[in-house]
């Protein structure tokens, strides 16, 4: 018995020696200061890089923000071509305004842009000890993300760094969210670097903040449900003038702007690869040396939209009388055989030979489509702004461009803003600049429709069409392959997963 | 530290040695039917007195009194009792234990007998294992135990195997049981999944392949909570205890040699169009056939599939020398897959030794195994897009293309020949598993045991895709891509147990108390390369490794998480001790790869546990078991660091009661209830805010963007294990002296606190957050087993066994909807087939209802172009196994059928490749597509069109054996020849290659089930085997 006791004592001793406190160690990840979960700040430089990198990938894809803003508009559609681009109906639902709270892009965009807001909030928090410029950049990015959430979804949740996952984020109304974004941008302005045209405009500058402020004030009355306030419109004019004061200006050579070069128009770009903008529209057999896989044969435009450009609607080869921005289809094998702007009719390869599709028929892009379903490989006019000749995967995607600012200023004046210039004058200034083939005649008067059409011709495929259509009251109209005129579609639904995870959110009307 | 402990413990044990001399004694010899038997345990009932037979089977036992009961026991033999009445000599012949009645059952941290077991436990011994080509131990017991569903995900050598014991209880995490090999609970992982070089990622290898099936003595499945609760937070999915062979049966030294040679062929292929049929189909759908005629007539399935011969040789020596026994074995397996470039070569070595010291008071066991596995995998992925992987490309390649390496279609279509020759995927895994245990009998009824375990695995997977491969749209052509992944696992274990038994006359008490500490370290790196500057595959792999070595060498001792090298130079991202992003470094000269990224991981989890078990037996009739385990785990949040897992069971030997009819030779009732956990789905450090840099990637132009830095997990101190409460009642029955025997079990399992990566309430740091969801998964079912010895004669035996299990699964109290079951292929981006929802089984299909084609060949969806529940799930309702064995003189034959019923399979392969739209885009299809009325412009959206019944009954194994009669003086002790057929036929309505299929298609971090997408075809195999001992 004595032995037993000895032995038991020894066992207890052994166990107590070998007992561990069960704490994990920092070996391949950095733990927050306290394990209690209290926020102790993030590394500002690394986190800011991370945030830019996130936005870069959010912009790069043909899904997400691009799809919500472009495929839901009268500029783009992604027809289902037999087995291709069915993608469980996500593209058809976007174009005919039949999306629901389970929609992929509705969900992913909500998550990624709200995530941006939170990451920016962590950088802005004083405990992260960011420099004033880092705070300003984070505020710019938070303003940018908040703007899109408010614009797309009409409400914006918010979480402070100290609110853990068990806290349901509070929700800002659309007006509150826009005020919040405006405040961020105004606070950011003094500490942002000022820069004129340069190759490093992939980070926030004063000009980028001024551009976004102009955009917010131009749209503010839509968010408030009122008519345009002339004071706001004058602010738009002032912000655009501030951009101009930094050295930005309209640039000639429309398609050159989309090369990876310094030009006077680019105010903000991301290093997102432009591949998805190129290949999503080109046919499988249209190719560049750095992309053996060929195009993806997806995105096309509507003939109604194509017809808003000056020129013969049935042909778009060089010298066929079209305006510069409509581009052309080369017939002599130049530019890898791939056109600029709008690709319609027979396509040619890099030797100038007429191309065939995958089953051996002529590769002849049609004006019209049978509908969203039942398409073959050649239906629909393609549109391309970034060109594979400049690299099929170049990392240079424009977010803010001076021509947009220029047209915002014109529109603000049209809507009652005060300026020494006139809206018509500004629009004609741009049209004169784009007058490459002598077909862009000056307008004699400027209606709202003219303004919208000019924005469409200048800015197609640059993320703004849905926003423009809503501001001009046209988003709920019927157009080709879209019959749904439900006005509640001006807002996307709150994703189903978000409604479940945060009871403070209330689903938008109509969903 | 721990090694020191062991020596200390051994030292202390010396202190307690001793014994007393007594006057009355008996000696004798113990025999079995072959001769003397060394190592037999001899004890005197109710005392601490005992002995063991020596080399020649002789023994002496002292200190006896009249009417003492001497007990002779030996594993695998019936225990015999002799009453001492003053004999001078007692010789005993032990009978082999055929009746299973006293069969030893391995349970957690100990053993019991079938008779005394209170839990639902099924043991399958080596003689009942499945034969033929066996890559991994799970296959040995496939279909042998009711309620244990074992499915191989595909026919690939070394592919993963899923085991579901009593249904699928966890939504998110691994549902595989805990494997315990000779007392060492294994951790998951240790193998790398395939990196995505341009056709989707691939699955990891089966981590259990390292065991040589010939080394396994028995596998025991613990099914109910009373049996598994001793494993606490890891017991919820059941436990499989693997016991390796000791040398105990090798008295005097026995050599054993097994050799198998197997011939395998693809059991089914698709009926694809040949060249002329293809061209006429192109015309039928309005294409210009002459443009697509490349002149050849290639059967691409013949190019990619092959007939193969595999070899499996193993050699073992075992010796029982009285005071101990030893067994050493070597195994060499060369398994070839039925797809080109697929194989697994395996070397295993094992030594098991056991020795008794100090008059048998101290028993030391050492088990050590080393294995080296070389896997070769073809370009088959789980999630290929519109271009397909090797199998996708094979199915829709134009049959008029020549089987020519230099052929390029020029429009982004992949040439299967190139995928065979321009891709290489090699995985080398070395693993060492050692455990050493010392058991000391402090008193005859008090034993202490210390067990130390060490498990180390190092795996390196290298994949290269040549710059000569055409058609890829991720920059591969002209550059090439490569990936190198090192995955290392290091686990350490210390177990200390005390075992106390007390006999009270008409009742017995057995108490187990224990402490266990286990640490699990995972570390490794992922290297990716772009622009490898050669098209020689071996050189590509070398260049990548050299580039990584050169870069890592130049960074030196500076700590970092990752690095990236491209034309923009070299950078590192540092986390510890300081966070420092995008630090530019001077690149070393001569890096042989244009772009390289490296990313590192290293984390360690610990588990510390206290556990106890009490068994109490009254009159050999009423049996009680209580267990409790407290598990402290570094995976749980600070508020729940320790979990407590209790269970209780009661068994009643009813046949000993008068009110039970004599007809029952056995009737035992078992009732159990217990709570077990699952910490597997949780992973490392998910309860506190942790920051890491995101995984780096190389763009399609070779550019490397420094990844962003961010939180990868939230603070959640409440995070804890998933909990399963299980209630079960079972009966073991036997008639005619147990000639007819079996069991019936019913159970109800409720899994709560579901661990889920839920969608975060935005704004949040990441889209998902780990939490315990307030919902439950219910599994309930019935299991039935019967065995009947139809013929029991000296020279003829015929046995029939049947097991069947029914399981019902349902998710309850869940107020969300989560999509899973990703569907891939052309035009199927973002498509999914399953939805997790309240009131439905896991893996419930959510599809468009398909009702044929309209007059234009467009799909008709009567319920609208939207997905809905179709009341079908991927989970089987019924699983069954049928066994029969027959022997006549020297001949024996075995047949084994396995079946599953009630599950549905989503045929993603047909959805992606066998539609009119595919032929209309100039790619090949199966013959039925031409006549089913579909238009080439139709979109084959995800619908019930591709949902099929997955019922099957498979002749898994059919074997015939002949044992040669050997002369006395023969050099050989035994010689047996066998012929084994595997997968000889499958009866199924499923149109795909095989209904036993599961291509991993998770979405939202929720696994899927029942999706078939370009799965590796299964083989039909015939094996010639030779077993000899001498």
- Taking only the tens place, the pLDDT of each residue in B636-654 is 888 889 999 999 999 999 9
pLDDT tens-digit readout, B195-242: 787 777 777 777 788 888 889 988 999 998 888 999 988 888 899 999
Q: Does A134 touch chain B (CB under 8 A)?
A: no
For residue B754, how many other CB atoms are within 10 A of its CB? 25
Q: Is the pLDDT of residue B1020 over 50?
A: yes
pLDDT band at B21 (very low <50, low <70, confident <90, very high): very low
pLDDT at B805: 94
| B502 interfaces chain A, CB cutoff of 8 Å | no
Please determine, for residue B14, whether its predicted confidence score (pLDDT) is greater than 60.
Answer: no
A221 touches B: beta carbon within 8 Å: no
Omega of the bond prior to B763 within 30 degrees of 0, cis? Answer: yes
Q: What interface predicted TM-score (ipTM) does this complex get? A: 0.78
**Which residues 433-452 of B have a C-beta within 8 angstroms of A?**
442-443, 446, 448
pLDDT one digit per residue (tens) for chain A, 511 residues: 555 566 556 665 665 555 677 888 888 888 865 444 567 788 898 889 989 999 999 999 999 999 999 999 999 999 999 888 988 889 999 999 999 888 999 999 999 999 999 999 999 999 999 999 999 999 999 999 999 999 999 999 999 988 877 788 999 999 999 999 999 999 999 999 999 999 999 999 999 999 999 999 999 999 999 999 999 999 999 999 999 999 999 999 999 999 999 999 999 999 998 989 999 999 988 988 877 678 899 899 999 999 999 888 889 999 888 889 999 999 999 999 999 999 999 999 999 999 999 888 999 999 999 999 889 999 999 999 999 998 888 889 999 999 999 999 999 999 999 999 999 999 999 999 998 666 678 899 999 999 999 999 999 999 999 999 999 999 999 999 999 999 999 999 999 888 888 889 999 999 9
On chain B, the residues whose CB falls within 8 A of the CB of A110 are: 762
Cα B853 from Cα A388, distance rounded (Å):
40
Q: Are B1015 and B154 in contact (CB under 8 A)?
A: yes
A29 touches chain B (CB under 8 A): yes
Q: Measured between CA atoms, how close is B1022 to chain A, in angstroms?
A: 41
Are residues A358 and B689, on separate chains, in Cβ contact within 8 Å?
Answer: no
Q: Do B634 and A89 touch (CB under 8 A)?
A: no
Residues of chain A with Cβ-Cβ distance to B288 below 8 Å are: 356, 359-361
- The closest alpha carbon to B582, from B590, B570, B592, belongs to B570
Nearest chain B residue to A291 by CA: give it.
Answer: B473
CB-based contact A31 B604, cutoff 8 Å = no
Closest CA to B285 of A88, A82, A354: A82
Interface of A with B in 429-468 (CB under 8 A): none
A87 contact B CB<8A: yes
Instruction: Name the residue with higher pLDDT: B104 or B926.
Output: B926
Cβ of A19 within 8 Å of Cβ of B708? The answer is no
Q: Predicted confidence band at B611 (pLDDT cuts at 50, 70, 90)?
A: very high
Q: Is B252 on the interface with A (CB under 8 A)?
A: no
Which pLDDT tens digit goes with each residue over B946-956? 999 999 999 98
pLDDT, tens digit (0-9, with 9 covering 90-100), for B340-373: 999 999 999 999 999 988 877 899 999 999 999 9
Contact, B670 vs B729, CB < 8 A? yes
Contacts of A111 in chain B (CB under 8 A): 759-760, 762, 767
Contact state of A39 with B689 under an 8 Å Cβ cutoff = yes
pLDDT band at B139 (very low <50, low <70, confident <90, very high): confident
The residues in A 391-430 lying below 8 A from B, measured between CB atoms, are: 391-395
Distance from CA of A132 to the nearest CA of B (A): 19
Q: Is the pLDDT of residue B707 over 50?
A: yes
Contact B124, B194 (CB under 8 A): no
B3: confidence class by pLDDT, cuts 50, 70, 90: very low
Q: State the pLDDT at residue B164.
A: 87
Selection from B131, B237, B246, B257 nearest residue B177 by Cα: B237
The total of other beta-carbon atoms located within 10 Å of residue B578's CB is: 9
Are the beta carbons of B758 and A46 separated by less than 8 Å? no
| Contact B646/A at CB under 8 A | no
Length of chain B: 1030
CA nearest to B397, candidates B477, B299, B266: B299
Instruction: Choose among A30, A86, A358: nearest Cβ to B940.
Output: A86
Q: What pLDDT was estimated at residue B195? A: 78
Interface of B with A in 463-482 (CB under 8 A): 470-478
Give the residue from chain A lying closest to B936, CA to CA: A82
Residue B921 near chain A (CB below 8 Å): yes
Alpha carbon separation from A31 to A37, A38, A42, B607, B770 (Å, rounded)? 10, 11, 10, 20, 17
Write the CB contacts of B4 (distance below 8 Å, at least 6 apart in sequence).
Answer: none
**A121 touching B (Cβ < 8 Å):** yes
Four-CA torsion A62, A67, A73, A75, nearest 10 degrees? 0
Torsion region of B251: left, alpha or beta (phi above 0 gives left; psi -120 to 50 gives alpha): beta
Q: How does pLDDT run across A250-299, given as a tens digit for each residue? A: 999 999 999 999 999 999 999 998 989 999 999 988 988 877 678 899 89
Mean pLDDT across chain B, nearest whole number?
Answer: 88
Query: What residue in B sits closest to A32 (Cα-Cα)?
Result: B689
Stretch (H or E) spanning A471: helix A465-471
Task: List Cα–Cα distances, B7 to B11, B12, B284, B377, B937, in angstroms.
Answer: 6, 9, 82, 46, 77
Contact A143, A208 (CB under 8 A): no
- How many residues belong to chain A? 511
Interface probe, candidates B763, B814, B822, B915, chain A, greatest A C-beta count within 10 A: B763
Q: Is B630 on the interface with A (CB under 8 A)?
A: no
Query: Is the pLDDT assigned to residue B72 strictly greater than 50?
Result: yes
Among candidates B583, B579, B810, B1023, which has minimal Cα distance to A47? Answer: B579
* Confidence at residue A21, expressed as pLDDT on a 0 to 100 scale: 78
With CB atoms and an 8 Å threshold, state whether B938 touches A374.
yes
CB contacts < 8 A, A to B, total 363
Write down the pLDDT at residue B594. Answer: 95
Q: Which of A43, A89, A502 sits opposite B865 (nearest CB)?
A: A89
Yes or no, beta carbons of A164 and B446 under 8 Å apart: no
- Selected residues 317-336 of chain A with any CB under 8 Å from a CB in chain B: none
Residue B680: the pLDDT is 79
φ, ψ dihedrals at B609, nearest 5°: -140, 150
d(CA B1021, CA B132): 8
Predicted confidence at residue B12, as pLDDT, reads 39
- What is the distance of C-alpha B876 from the center of its chain? 19
Distance from CA of B218 to the nearest CA of A (A): 31
Q: What is the pLDDT of residues B125-136, one digit of tens each?
A: 888 888 777 878
What pLDDT digit, counting tens, does each position of B302-336 carry?
Answer: 999 999 999 999 999 998 887 888 999 999 999 99
pLDDT at B977 over 50: yes
């Amino acid at each position: 018995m004595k032995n037993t006791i000895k032995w038991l004592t020894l066992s207890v001793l052994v166990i107590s020696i070998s007992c561990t406190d069960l704490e994990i160690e920092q070996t391949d990840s950095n733990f927050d200061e306290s394990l209690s979960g209290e926020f102790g700040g993030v590394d500002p430089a690394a986190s800011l890089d991370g945030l830019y990198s996130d936005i870069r990938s959010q912009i790069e894809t043909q899904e997400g923000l691009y799809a919500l803003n472009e495929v839901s508009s009268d500029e783009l559609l992604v027809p289902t071509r037999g087995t291709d681009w069915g993608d469980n109906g996500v593209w058809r639902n976007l174009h005919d305004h039949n999306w629901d709270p389970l929609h992929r892009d509705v969900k992913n965009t909500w998550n990624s842009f709200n995530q941006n807001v939170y990451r920016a909030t962590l950088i802005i928090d004083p405990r992260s000890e960011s420099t004033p410029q880092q705070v300003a950049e984070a505020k710019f990015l938070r303003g940018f993300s908040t703007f899109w959430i408010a614009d797309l979804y009409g409400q914006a949740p918010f979480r402070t760094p100290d609110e853990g996952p068990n806290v349901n984020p509070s929700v800002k109304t659309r007006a509150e969210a826009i005020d919040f974004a405006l405040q961020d941008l105004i606070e950011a302005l003094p500490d942002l670097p000022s820069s004129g045209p340069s190759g490093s405009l992939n980070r926030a500058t004063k000009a980028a903040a001024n551009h976004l402020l102009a955009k917010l004030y131009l749209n503010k009355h839509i968010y408030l449900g009122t008519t345009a306030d002339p004071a706001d419109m004058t602010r738009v004019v002032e912000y655009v003038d501030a951009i101009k004061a930094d050295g930005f200006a309209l640039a000639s050579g429309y398609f050159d702007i989309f090369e990876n070069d310094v030009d006077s128009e680019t105010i903000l770009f991301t290093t997102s690869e432009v591949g998805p903008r190129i290949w999503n529209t080109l046919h499988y057999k249209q190719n560049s040396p750095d992309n053996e896989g060929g195009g993806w044969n997806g995105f096309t435009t509507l003939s109604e939209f194509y017809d808003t450009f000056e020129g013969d609607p049935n042909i778009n080869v060089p010298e066929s009388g079209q305006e510069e921005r409509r581009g052309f289809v080369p017939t002599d094998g130049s530019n890898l055989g791939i056109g600029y702007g709008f690709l319609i009719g027979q396509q040619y390869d890099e030797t100038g030979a007429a191309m065939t599709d995958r089953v051996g028929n002529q590769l002849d892009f049609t004006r019209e489509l049978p509908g969203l379903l039942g398409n073959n490989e050649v239906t629909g006019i393609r549109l391309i702004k970034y060109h594979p000749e400049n690299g099929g995967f170049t990392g240079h995607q424009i977010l803010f461009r001076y021509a947009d600012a220029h047209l915002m200023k014109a529109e603000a004046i049209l809507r009652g803003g005060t300026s020494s210039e006139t809206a018509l004058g500004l629009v004609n200034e741009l049209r004169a600049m784009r007058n490459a083939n002598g077909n862009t005649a000056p307008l004699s008067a400027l209606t709202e429709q003219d303004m919208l059409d000019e924005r469409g011709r200048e800015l197609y495929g640059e993320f703004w069409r849905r926003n423009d259509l809503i501001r001009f009251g046209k988003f709920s109209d019927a157009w080709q392959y879209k019959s749904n005129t439900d006005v509640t579609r001006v807002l996307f639904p709150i994703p189903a997963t978000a409604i479940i995870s945060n009871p403070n959110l209330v689903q938008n009307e109509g969903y | 530290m721990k090694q020191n402990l062991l020596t200390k413990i051994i030292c202390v044990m010396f202190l307690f040695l001793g014994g007393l001399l007594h006057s009355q004694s008996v000696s004798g010899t113990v025999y079995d039917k072959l001769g003397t038997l060394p190592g037999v345990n001899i004890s005197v009932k109710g005392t601490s007195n005992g002995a063991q037979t020596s080399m020649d089977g002789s023994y002496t036992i002292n200190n006896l009194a009249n009417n003492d009961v001497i007990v002779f026991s030996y594993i695998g033999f019936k225990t015999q009792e002799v009453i001492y009445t003053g004999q001078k000599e007692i010789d005993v012949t032990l009978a082999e234990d055929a009746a299973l009645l006293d069969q030893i059952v391995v349970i957690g941290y100990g053993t019991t007998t079938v008779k005394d077991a209170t839990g639902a436990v099924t043991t399958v011994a080596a003689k009942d294992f499945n034969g033929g080509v066996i890559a991994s131990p799970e296959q040995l017991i496939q279909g042998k135990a009711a309620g244990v569903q074992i499915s191989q995900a595909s026919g690939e050598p070394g592919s993963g195997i899923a085991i579901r014991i009593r249904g699928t209880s966890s939504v998110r995490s691994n549902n595989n049981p805990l494997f315990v090999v000779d007392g060492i609970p294994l951790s998951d992982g240790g193998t790398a999944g395939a990196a995505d070089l341009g056709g989707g990622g691939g699955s990891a290898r089966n981590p259990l392949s390292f065991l040589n099936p010939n080394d396994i003595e028995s596998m025991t499945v613990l099914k109910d909570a009373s049996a598994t609760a001793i494993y606490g937070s890891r017991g919820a999915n059941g436990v499989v205890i693997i016991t390796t062979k000791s040398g105990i049966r090798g008295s005097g030294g026995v050599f054993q040699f097994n050799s198998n040679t197997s011939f395998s062929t693809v059991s089914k292929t698709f009926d694809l169009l040949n060249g002329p049929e293809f061209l006429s189909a192109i015309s039928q759908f309005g294409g210009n056939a002459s443009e697509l005629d490349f002149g050849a007539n290639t059967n691409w399935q013949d190019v990619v599939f092959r007939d193969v011969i595999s070899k499996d040789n193993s050699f073992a020596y075992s010796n029982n020398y009285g005071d101990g026994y030893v067994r050493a074995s070597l195994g060499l397996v060369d398994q070839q897959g039925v797809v080109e470039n697929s194989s697994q070569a395996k070397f295993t070595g094992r030594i098991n030794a056991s020795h008794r010291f100090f008059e048998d008071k101290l028993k030391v066991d050492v088990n050590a195994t080393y294995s080296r596995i070389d896997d070769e995998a073809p370009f088959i992925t789980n999630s290929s897009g519109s271009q397909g992987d090797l199998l996708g490309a094979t199915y829709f390649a134009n049959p008029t293309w020549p089987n020519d390496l230099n052929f390029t279609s020029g429009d982004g279509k992949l040439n299967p020949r190139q995928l065979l020759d321009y891709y290489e995927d090699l995985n080398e895994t070395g693993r060492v598993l050692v455990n050493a245990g010392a058991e000391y009998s402090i008193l005859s009824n008090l034993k202490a045991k210390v067990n130390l375990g060490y498990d180390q695995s190092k795996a390196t997977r290298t994949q290269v895709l040549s710059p000569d491969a055409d058609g890829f749209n991720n920059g591969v052509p002209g550059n090439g891509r490569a990936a190198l992944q090192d995955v290392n696992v290091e686990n350490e274990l210390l177990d200390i147990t005390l075992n106390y038994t007390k006999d009270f006359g008409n009742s017995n008490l057995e108490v187990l108390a224990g402490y266990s500490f286990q640490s699990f370290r995972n570390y490794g790196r992922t290297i990716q390369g772009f622009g490898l500057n050669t098209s020689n595959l071996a050189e590509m792999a070398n260049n990548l490794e050299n580039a990584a070595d050169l870069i890592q060498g130049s960074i030196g001792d500076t700590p970092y998480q990752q690095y990236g090298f491209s034309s923009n130079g070299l950078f590192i991202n540092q986390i510890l001790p300081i966070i420092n992003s995008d630090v530019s470094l001077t690149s070393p000269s001569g890096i042989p790869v244009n772009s390289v990224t490296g990313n590192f991981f290293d984390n360690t989890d610990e588990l510390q546990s206290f556990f106890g078990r009490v068994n109490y037996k009254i009159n050999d009739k009423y049996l009680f078991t209580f267990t409790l385990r407290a598990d402290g785990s570094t995976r749980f949040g600070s508020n729940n660091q320790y979990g407590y897992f209790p269970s209780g069971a009661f068994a009643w030997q009813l046949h000993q009661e008068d009110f039970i009819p004599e007809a029952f030779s056995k009737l035992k009732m078992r009732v159990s209830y217990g709570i077990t956990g699952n910490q597997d789905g949780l992973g490392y450090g998910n309860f506190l805010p942790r920051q890491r840099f995101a995984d780096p990637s190389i763009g399609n132009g070779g550019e490397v963007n420094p990844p962003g830095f961010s939180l990868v997990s939230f603070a959640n101190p409440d995070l804890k294990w998933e909990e399963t409460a299980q209630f079960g009642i079972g009966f073991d029955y036997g008639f005619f002296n147990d000639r007819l025997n079996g069991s019936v079990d019913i159970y109800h399992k409720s899994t709560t606190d579901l661990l889920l990566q839920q969608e975060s309430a935005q704004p949040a740091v990441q889209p998902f957050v780990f939490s315990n969801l307030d919902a439950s998964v219910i599994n309930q079912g019935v299991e039935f087993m019967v065995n009947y010895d139809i013929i029991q004669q000296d020279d003829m035996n015929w046995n029939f066994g049947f097991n069947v299990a029914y399981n019902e699964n349902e998710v309850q109290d869940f107020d969300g909807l989560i999509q899973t079951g990703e569907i891939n292929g052309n035009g199927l981006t973002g498509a999914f087939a399953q939805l997790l929802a309240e009131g439905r089984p896991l893996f419930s299909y959510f599809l468009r209802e398909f009702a044929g084609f309209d007059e234009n060949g467009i799909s008709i969806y009567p319920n609208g172009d939207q997905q809905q529940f179709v009341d079908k799930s991927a989970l089987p309702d019924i699983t069954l196994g049928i066994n029969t064995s027959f022997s006549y003189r020297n001949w024996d034959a075995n047949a084994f059928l396995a079946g599953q019923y009630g599950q549905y399979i989503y045929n993603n392969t047909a959805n992606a490749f066998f539609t009119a739209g595919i032929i209309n885009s100039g790619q090949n299809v199966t013959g039925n597509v031409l006549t089913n009325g579909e238009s080439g412009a139709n979109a084959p959206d995800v619908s019930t069109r591709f949902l099929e019944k997955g019922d099957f009954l498979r002749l898994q194994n059919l074997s015939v054996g002949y044992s040669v009669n050997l002369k006395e003086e023969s050099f050989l002790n035994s010689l047996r020849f066998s012929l084994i057929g595997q997968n000889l036929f499958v009866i199924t309505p499923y149109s795909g290659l095989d209904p036993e299929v599961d291509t991993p298609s998770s979405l939202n971090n929720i696994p899927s089930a029942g999706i078939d997408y370009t799965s590796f075809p299964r083989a039909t195999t015939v094996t010639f085997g030779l077993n000899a001992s001498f």
